[in-house]
Amino acid sequence: MVFGIDVSKATSTVAVVVNKNKVAGFEVQNNRSGFDKLLKSLANFQKPEIVFEATGLYSRRLRVFLDDYGYRYTQLNPLASKKQLDRLRPNKSDKNDAFNLAETQFQISRALTYVQAPVYQSLLDWSRFYDQVTVDAVKDKNRLHKALQCTFPEVENLLNAPTGHLYWHLLRQFPISSTVTKLSSTQLSNTIEKLPHVSHQRSIELANRLSQLASESYPCVGEKSAMVEEVCYLATELLRLDTQKTEIINKMAILAQNLPELDILESIPGISINTAVRLIGELGDVRRFKSANKLNAFEGIDLRHFESGEFVAVDHISKRGNPYARKILFRTILNIMTSSRTKPSHINDYIVRKKKQSSGKSSFKKIAIGAIHHLNRTMYHLITTNQKYDYPRAQPKLR
């Protein structure tokens, strides 16, 4: 006996199928009263099979309800569901989709969905929040750059890079070059020294450099311009967003502190607490995958091969998986390379060897994808066997 459920935004359509025959069909609201109605129907059967397609936040409410009441279920990936049901959808509707989900369960016997501990979903939510804050910060940095072109474009050359807490604090104090030129060197250095983490000597150096840049600047707006207000606003907002990102990582670290994979991931050279908690958030419980190749597919870095007659296409990654995880893993590879001088790893050894072999024929992106494959195999092995990274033991496995 199978319950096929087609989940929409506000409602879910349910088809109850016994021995491939539909015995009941009804619609429920995706709220407490609707789920109570579904619960009463489920209670009429012993160990019912439940099948539904993942539809983002909409299906999440149904999944939590089933978890709360101890019902096991099969949650289908939308792509897998499409492949399985396309041949059965001459007339697509919510009722037909619910029935087809239940009917095909008798033919396919889909495996039950692995139920992760709630902490993994919490970490995923925080990770997506972190990503959204990052996107907002990037937008504000671009807006700040545009506004500075009218008030004080030269200030972008003050530090090694036009970003960071010190830079934003300085912009709040000096959003336009005229706010610098009206102050003496002593007044300027005293103002800068009051900023967080600025020494006396550093304040003098910054004051001299700032005065030089301001003397060359020719703003196209006045001190009471909206552009000046915008620079102050955006600098303050970027400080707030950067603090928010730090707070999110701290909360994620507290949530993940009892997960054994946190220490395991941090033992891999190049992976900090920030990267570790975000990887756990995006990848979830890695133990649910049957192999490292399944983990590759989840991230969308599995290779797609096309061959027809004498034509053989260049292999490309599928990009059908988690784009957030792919982005974090790519940055992790860069971190592994950066830290390799003091923290060697077999993954960096692979990158160095491939660079020598390619002689410019292979782009770094291809090498990075290969490195991510090795990183996935390493993470999967270490987590499933509960071991920390050991470079001497890892070296021979790649040679």
Contact by Cβ (8 Å): 189, 204: yes
- Is the domain of 296 the same as that of 391? yes
Q: Which helix (H) or strand (E) holds 349?
A: helix 346-358
| Spatial separation of the C-alpha atoms in residues 226 and 238, rounded to whole Å | 18
- Residue by residue, pLDDT tens for the chain (399 residues) are 999 999 999 999 999 999 889 999 999 999 999 999 999 999 999 999 999 999 888 999 999 999 999 999 999 988 777 777 776 555 678 888 899 899 888 888 888 999 999 999 999 999 999 999 999 999 999 999 999 999 999 999 999 999 999 999 999 999 999 999 999 999 999 999 999 999 999 999 999 999 999 999 999 999 999 999 999 999 999 999 999 999 999 999 999 999 999 999 999 999 999 999 999 999 999 999 999 999 999 999 876 544 445 443 445 677 788 999 999 999 999 999 999 999 999 999 999 998 888 765 568 888 999 999 999 999 999 999 999 999 998 875 444
What's 19's domain CATH number? 3.30.420.10
Alpha-carbon span 175 to 182, nearest angstrom: 13
Verify that 210 and 142 share a domain, yes or no: yes
Q: What is the pLDDT of residue 306?
A: 44
Q: Are residues 151 and 222 in the same domain?
A: yes
pLDDT reported for residue 358? 77
Q: Which of 63, 98, 115 represents a domain boundary (last residue)?
A: 115
Cα(266)–Cα(275) distance, integer angstroms: 8
Q: How far apart are CA 233 and CA 32, in angstroms?
A: 43
Last residue of a domain, one of 89, 115, 141: 115
Question: Of 253, 273, 304, which residue sits at a domain end?
Answer: 253
Count of domains observed in the chain: 3
Give SS3 for 8. Answer: coil
For residue 265, give the nearest of 319, 336, 323 by alpha carbon. Answer: 336
Q: Residue 245's pLDDT is what?
A: 97
At 111, the amino acid letter reads A
Do 215 and 137 fall into the same domain?
Answer: yes
The set of residues, in sequence order, having a beta carbon less than 8 Å from that of 95 and lying 6+ positions away, is 6, 13, 15, 25
Q: Strand pairing partners for 303?
A: 317
Using an 8 Å Cβ cutoff, are 353 and 367 in contact? no
CA angle (42, 46, 52) in 5-degree steps? 50
Q: Tell me, what's the pLDDT at 312? A: 39
Nearest to 210 by CA among 146, 159, 150: 159
Handedness of CA 213, 218, 223, 227 (dihedral sign): negative
- 288 in Cβ contact with 383 (< 8 Å): no
Q: Does residue 82 sit in the same domain as residue 145?
A: no
- Structural domain span for residue 392: 259-398
Question: Closest Cα partner for 261 from 290, 286, 293, 282?
Answer: 286
Enumerate residues 6+ apart whose C-beta is below 8 A from 337.
270, 348, 351
One domain, residues 318 and 241 = no
Report CA 73 to chain centroid distance, whole Å: 26
211 & 302 share domain:
no
Whether residues 216 and 265 fall in one domain: no
Cα distance between residue 51 and residue 73, in whole Å: 6
Q: Same domain for 198 and 104?
A: no
**What gap in Å lies between CA 376 and CA 387, rounded to an integer?**
15
Q: Give the CATH number of the domain where residue 154 resides.
A: 1.10.287.4070
Q: Are residues 63 and 94 in the same domain?
A: yes
d(CA 349, CA 335): 14
Tokens read off for 52: 């539904």
Residues 145 and 186 in one domain: yes
What is the Cα gyration radius of the chain? 28
Q: Name beta bridge partners: 24.
A: 16
Residues 207 and 126 in one domain: yes
